Amino acid sequence: MKSLYVVALATLFATSAMADEAKGPAKPDPAKGATISATVCAACHTADGSRGIPANPILQGQHADYLVKQLSEFKSGKRDNAIMKPMASTLSDDDMRNVAAFYAGKTAKPGQAKNKATVALGQKIWRGGIAEKNIPACAGCHGPAGAGIPAQYARLGGQHAEYVSAELTLFRAGKRGNSPQMATIAARMSDAEIAAVSDYIEGLNAVK
């Protein structure tokens, strides 16, 4: 009789676990994400992910799926960053979804291109690429206005030029390994081309 009870209890627990698994992850909670942003992320990204230090990315308005992917890859080491790895390592999967939902729910503030001399080149690369170097148009994946496509393609419109330039340079050098496609593209770009398109991107403000 006791063995039947144990079997029944085990079956109950297994059924309950399967039911929880079938429900999938909990719905993201932006309020919890706001707390994580204020306590973990604010020093580098400001409490609401807005236009902070140009070397750090603007997180406001970024796709939640894209942010979760990047945080997961910082945590696993697939995207190597000495600052972000320990930060992401403290976050659970739910934490990542919550903080990503918080940032995604914000409206990004507009940016502005700073170098008038390179706007034409930046626009050419963004809209049409560089055919002779087999560099595709940035807009092909990130959208005409830089709105991006979750989870693979970041929202770029209005992003800090300094940050975009630094990431393209890392891709080119093989030091950012979580997008083979971008590494291949950046490997064909000169410093001047990277600078021009990065500056153009800062002035390209996507409509949410």
Q: What is the mean pLDDT of the chain?
A: 90
The two three-digit tokens of residue 186, written as one number: 């950046």
103, 49 Cβ separation under 8 angstroms: yes
The two three-digit tokens of residue 130, written as one number: 């560089």
**pLDDT higher than 80, residue 103:** yes
For residue 195, give the H/E element and its range. helix 191-202
| Over residues 3-28, mean pLDDT | 57
Taking the CB of residue 161, how many other CB atoms lie within 10 A of it?
24
Residue type, 194: I
pLDDT for 21: 52
**pLDDT higher than 80, residue 74:** yes
Where do the domains of the chain lie, and which CATH numbers do they carry?
Answer: 30-104 (1.10.760.10), 116-202 (1.10.760.10)
**pLDDT higher than 80, residue 25:** no
Task: Please give the C-alpha separations between residue 176 and each of 70, 121, 142, 147, in angstroms, as whole numbers.
Answer: 12, 25, 19, 22
Assign 203 to helix, strand or coil: coil
pLDDT for 9: 45
pTM higher than 0.95: no
Q: 129-165 pLDDT, tens per residue?
A: 999 999 999 999 999 999 999 888 999 999 999 999 9
